[in-house]
Structure 1
Amino acid sequence: MSEVSTIEKILLKKKLEQFLEEDIRYGDITSKVLKNTNVNAQILYKSDGLVCGIQEAKLLCEMGNVKVLNAVSDGDELKKGTEVMKLSGKLHDILSIERTMLNIMMRMSSIASTTFQFSTLIQQTGESVKIAATRKTTPGFRIFEKRAVEIGGKGYSDTHRWSLDDMILLKDTHLAASKQKIAKLIETAKKKTSFSKKIELEVQSPEDAIAAAQARVDIVMFDNMSPGKIKSTINKIKEIMGSEKVPIFEASGNITLKNISEYAKSGVNIISTSQITFHPSQKIDISLEIIND
């Protein structure tokens, strides 16, 4: 992952400032008990997995006038006990940013590690399928969770929609509210949407998937359908469409580490799940220790 631009850094710092304000409030009264001496500290990885949040940790150190002596890189695979970062600075400064920094790194590392688990299982099938996140993210923390998904997939993941204005995603609620047939709803969406935006339709039956494909939707999302039913439906759509371009196919709903391989072999292009951001299976623990020479 490349370093952020100057403008991106400014925007990230604004987010991080909000987190620091929440934690510090009117000052760290505990640290005031101690002398504000110059100290060194190390951040230790207490699990096995992928590390993530290094970029954010470095920005927090920059904001807190703490020097980073050395650090691993985002996406590195680490073993328990590995030194993630070594820091130098005033004791009060280090302790003031400690909890915010560790919370961000642990959350991002957990998501990145879980994404890597999913993407590894997909790659083992030999299929060209990506694991994608959803909009089920922690309010105010989406930018960090989505970045963790991108890093964790190591080229085999996708952040999916960042926000509601990214693309049209028509779900069962939209279909019910519109009281329109699938073909008519897709036609209406195309008329009201910029050519630069894709249109996706969530389906729960083979019939709806076929109707969406025939209406030239950009993406068909199979929601809570079995791998077998998805595979037969995709084959049917390809048979009907013939030489015409078929939509992108996405599977979503009840995706787990146990069934991800079967979904990867169902013929879809994308598999999206909230598991990687909302319920990461990997729980990474990271700590900070003051080094006493």
Structure 2
Amino acid sequence: MSFYIPDYELEKIIEEDINPLDLTSQIMKLDRFNAKLAYKARHDMVLCCTEEAERICKILGLEVISYKRTGSYVKEGEVFFEAKGRADNVHLAWKSVLRLLEGYCGMATRTYEFVTLARKYNENINVVTTRKNLAGTKKPTIKAIVAGGAYPHRLGLSETILIFDEHLAFVDGDEELKYVLKEMKANALEKKIGIEVDNFETGIKYVKMGFDYIQLDKVDSKTVEKFVKAAKEITPNITIVAAGGITIQNIAEYAKTGVEVIVTSALYFGKAADIKTIIEKID
């Protein structure tokens, strides 16, 4: 995967746990021994951030023996990461690596299950995630959802053009909006321009106005299906996006509607992966 998380962010993860001393290992004089560190899946999962786990281990003086890459699917009981080194350094790495792996393997697995279910009903559907990730976690979060088969909806405000009601508060009616849309298309020729709506009638009005895509927010699946058919009759190439309140419990309903894109924040939140740590004394 073409992805980069800078060392200083990994060092923050280490610092949160150590800062600056492992008192137990120091008093037990574990620097007299060598040890092996391994992580084993307690259930089937999609891996994420094993590359960053390798880098944390190296920062802490360990030699990484082997690991499976981000995006790999591993079975229950499978060892997917191994490192070795001085026992006190193994203990320094132990929880920092485990926290990273459990959180983001959990997110990657949740994403994989969501995308797989959506594509069971619509093999061409795109699943994308919102900007509502936990503050300060964007890079590993995006890595996790990509590992699971989804993509970010918008990495930031400069990436796409999407009009919300909060923007329309500064537009004086539909006639001015038509002018604004014309100006936006002239000044952003390579960009699609979308608008979010929360009902069928407003959405159809904006289809006729010439928007490139319509984002339906918190609209029930039956209305979404009706909207897709009506919008495509007017503009066959328009893209329809469904967003708001879409979870693993109702994704099947929305995938069946014919929308091209599902936007969700649900993949960010849920159970961590369950990963067993194995630490063994070696010669």
Q: Same fold (TM over 0.5)?
A: yes
1:94 counterpart = 2:86: no
Q: Aligned match of 1:209 in 203, 206, 219?
A: 203
Cα separation, 2, equivalents of 1:270 and 1:103: 32
Cα separation, 1, equivalents of 2:7 and 2:178: 40
Classify 1:30/1:190 alpha carbon distance in 2 versus 1 (closer, same or farther; 3 Å).
farther
Classify 1:92/1:126 alpha carbon distance in 2 versus 1 (closer, same or farther; 3 Å).
same
Q: CA deviation at 1:189?
A: 6.0
> Does the 8 A contact of 1:50 with 1:152 survive in 2?
yes
Unpaired runs of 5+ residues, structure 1, are: none
| Counterpart in the other structure of 1:287 | 276
Unpaired runs of 5+ residues, structure 2, are: none
The AA in structure 2 aligned to 1:230 is V
Per-residue deviation, residues 146-196 of structure 1 (Å, max 9, x unmatched): 11111111xxx2221111221122223332x32533563474366366434
Cα separation, 2, equivalents of 1:183 and 1:260: 36
> Does the 8 A contact of 1:200 with 1:219 survive in 2?
yes
| Counterpart in the other structure of 1:139 | 135
The AA in structure 2 aligned to 1:256 is T
Count of residues in Structure 1 that have an aligned counterpart in Structure 2: 278
| Counterpart in the other structure of 1:20 | 14
Cα separation, 1, equivalents of 2:179 and 2:51: 43
Q: Which runs of 4+ in 1 moved over 4 A?
A: none
> Does the 8 A contact of 1:166 with 1:197 survive in 2?
no
1:191 counterpart = 2:180: no
Identical positions, percent: 28
1:276 counterpart = 2:270: no
> Does the 8 A contact of 2:36 with 2:279 survive in 1?
yes
| Counterpart in the other structure of 1:259 | 250
> Does the 8 A contact of 2:34 with 2:281 survive in 1?
no
1:171 counterpart = 2:164: yes
Cα separation, 2, equivalents of 1:45 and 1:196: 44
Per-residue deviation, residues 1-33 of structure 1 (Å, max 9, x unmatched): 35x5xxx4xx52121122222332233223212
| Counterpart in the other structure of 1:181 | 173
Classify 1:21/1:180 alpha carbon distance in 2 versus 1 (closer, same or farther; 3 Å).
farther
Secondary structure at 2:6 match in 1: helix
- TM-score, normalised by the number of residues in structure 1: 0.86
> Does the 8 A contact of 2:232 with 2:238 survive in 1?
no
1:69 counterpart = 2:65: yes
Cα separation, 2, equivalents of 1:12 and 1:256: 32
Cα separation, 2, equivalents of 1:141 and 1:74: 17
Equivalences for residues 210-249 of structure 1 within 5 A: 210-241=204-235, 246-249=237-240
Q: CA deviation at 1:139?
A: 1.3
Q: CA deviation at 1:198?
A: 3.5
> Does the 8 A contact of 1:64 with 1:93 survive in 2?
yes
